[in-house]
Amino acid sequence: MTVFPSDVGPSVHYSLTAIALALAMWGIEGRQAGDVREQVAPEASRGFSDPRQWPSLRRWTRNRAALWPEVRVRNRTTVRETAAALTGALIARMPRAPPLPTPAHAWAAARAA
């Protein structure tokens, strides 16, 4: 039996957060696959894989239903456009941060303490 952190997706060796970051860099920011790999992958590429490419980006996009079963995104014209749409859907599902306090709120809280 192998135990992984809960954020590691099924049959992948990266956390879902790292995968989402990589897909955002590739799909939304338009970075080259090799640049994304260099920023996200902890180890250098090995084997026959071209270091300027990262086939995992396309594989993760195609297997998005297994990684995020609650998120539905239809295919776009290109895999990169689908990755951008998936990233947008994931961002939309993120919990919202509480509003930042205004100086008046901070002053009132300090006086009440």
* Tens digit of each residue's pLDDT, the chain (113 residues): 555 556 666 667 788 999 999 999 999 999 999 999 989 987 766 655 676 788 999 999 999 999 999 999 999 999 999 999 999 999 999 888 777 667 676 666 666 65
Q: Compute the half-sphere exposure of residue 17: CA atoms within 13 Å on the CB side of its CA.
A: 4
Query: In the chain, where are the structural domains located?
Result: 16-112
Kindly report the pTM of this predicted structure: 0.74
DSSP-based three-state secondary structure for 65: helix
The secondary structure element, H or E, covering residue 35 is helix 33-40
